[in-house]
Structure 1
Amino acid sequence: MTGQAAAERAYAYTKRRIITGELPGGERLSEGRICEELELSRTPVHEAFLRLAAERLITLSSRQGATVQPVSVTEVADLIETRGVLERTAVARIAAQAPAAAEVEAALGAPLARQEAALAAGDLAAYVEADCDFHAAVVGLSGNPIAAHFFDLLRDRQLRLAFLVLSGSGVVLDLSFREHREMAACLGRHDAAAYHAVLEVHLSRHQGLA
């Protein structure tokens, strides 16, 4: 394995554990432990930690080493505000374009089906991934590639927040799924106001988690 591939492996492994909450905010990280778990040398793991620090998922200190960055109240509010603006704008544009119901189904049917399957299987990780993919598909349906790009940049933080919401706040997954189906129905009939109303409730569960 090349040094670059080893660093990418260490990065993906550690990042996934942070996003899913396996490594919670405030958790101390050890380069040596990651080296042992992945059977890698120190250099690629150190490079992975530097990359995670640049993404503000961990903090590095000469005295305390590496620590998982907690999700702050401010970060939650900023993330919800930003994704809300992007999604509401996309929905308004979709409603104005009035796509055929079949086009809406083609865009949203796959993530909804994956959510339903994950729900039946009790697979939280698969459900969260499909949850984020559903909202990304809505933004993509607007036909605005710049909005889709910026929405994608939020994906890791959205995933992390979704794991917090859906695993630690008592939210019933079936309720979240029903809201997604309702939002898809709103798009099918080009009703932006109704979509926004459901989205407001949907996002409100994310507040106050940090």
Structure 2
Amino acid sequence: MTERPGPPTAPSPSAAERAYRHTKAKILSGEVPGGRLLSEGDVAAELGISRTPVHEAFLRLDAERLLAVAPRRGAAVLPMAPDEARDVLEMREAIELSTARRALAHGSPPSAVLDALRANVATQREAATGGDVDAFVAADGAFHALLVAASRNQTAVQLYDLLRDKQHRLRAQLLHVGPEEVASSLADHEAMLAAVEHGDADALCELVHTHVRRHRGIL
């Protein structure tokens, strides 16, 4: 009997892609703060690869305005300027407010959406209780993305996705200020979930506005 071949496996990322993902994750999480110099040799040693793919990764991050590569001097992590942070929050609020009204135009969304939001908030509570800020940041971003997706406005979803990296970096920066910021964000999300469950678009929009305004106040 001839055995059927199994499903194809995904190709392993190239060395340059590994270096790109590794370095980008450190920048977005705030592990490597703005202004810090990065060495191609250090990253190569961490990953057990040569410097050539790391250099390729650095150039890619330079094009994304996360690094400033200087010949023979390594690369410096570019900090997020206050104006850029305000711009990100402004666009985020505009998208979330418009999609909130559309998502709740006919009352509370389908049960699958509610189940996903409830599960996400449970993950947030667990991360907050355990003091895992990085896990909370990830769940925070997923929560807001779920709300936007609930609108079924694909243009809004695509625009929101374009802000994903900047939002993640900004969230990490804001939520690492102190445990009180995590607690405040969790409380906001619990209130937003309640508004969604009740199909109250006005309440949800007011909560989104207050939530983003609080973040602006930290900048």
Superposed pair shares fold, TM > 0.5: yes
Could you give the per-residue CA deviations for residues 138-197 of structure 1, whole angstroms, max 9, x where no partner exists? 000001122112212211111111111111256432221111010111122222222222
Corresponding residue of 2:17: 8
Supply the distance in 1 between the matched residues of 2:217 and 2:53 (Cα, whole angstroms). 36
CA contact under 8 A between 2:101 and 2:205: conserved in structure 1? Answer: no
Moved more, 113-122 or 135-144: 113-122
Task: Report percent identity of matched pairs.
Answer: 42
Q: Secondary structure at the match of 1:66?
A: strand
Correspondence list, 1:179-194, <5 A: 179-194=188-203
Could you give the per-residue CA deviations for residues 108-160 of structure 1, whole angstroms, max 9, x where no partner exists? 12211211111122111111000000000000000112211221221111111
Task: Return the match for 1:160 from 157, 160, 169.
Answer: 169
Structure 1 vs Structure 2 CA RMSD: 2.1
Correspondence list, 1:75-154, <5 A: 75-100=84-109, 102-154=111-163
Supply the distance in 2 between the matched residues of 1:68 and 1:208 (Cα, whole angstroms). 24
Correspondence list, 1:166-177, <5 A: 166-168=175-177, 171-177=180-186
Q: CA deviation at 1:59?
A: 1.2
Change (3 A) 1:38 1:182: same
Moved more, 43-52 or 128-137: 43-52
Q: CA deviation at 1:64?
A: 4.3
Supply the distance in 2 between the matched residues of 1:103 and 1:97 (Cα, whole angstroms). 16
Could you give the per-residue CA deviations for residues 19-51 of structure 1, whole angstroms, max 9, x where no partner exists? 111111111111111111211101110111111
Determine if the alignment matches structure 1 residue 23 to structure 2 residue 51.
no
Corresponding residue of 1:52: 61
Supply the distance in 2 between the matched residues of 1:209 and 1:12 (Cα, whole angstroms). 28
CA contact under 8 A between 2:174 and 2:181: conserved in structure 1? Answer: no
Moved more, 73-82 or 170-179: 170-179
CA contact under 8 A between 2:108 and 2:198: conserved in structure 1? Answer: no
Supply the distance in 1 between the matched residues of 2:65 and 2:106 (Cα, whole angstroms). 38
Aligned residues: 209
Q: Secondary structure at the match of 1:205?
A: helix
TM-score normalised according to structure 1 size: 0.91
Moved more, 197-206 or 129-138: 197-206
TM-score normalised according to structure 2 size: 0.87
Moved more, 46-55 or 189-198: 189-198
Q: CA deviation at 1:95?
A: 2.1
The one-letter amino acid of 2:79's match is P
Q: CA deviation at 1:98?
A: 2.0
Please list every run of 5 or more consecutive structure 1 residues that lacks an aligned counterpart in the other structure.
Answer: none
Moved more, 57-66 or 20-29: 57-66
Larger Rg: 2
Please list every run of 5 or more consecutive structure 2 residues that lacks an aligned counterpart in the other structure.
Answer: 1-10
The one-letter amino acid of 2:128's match is L
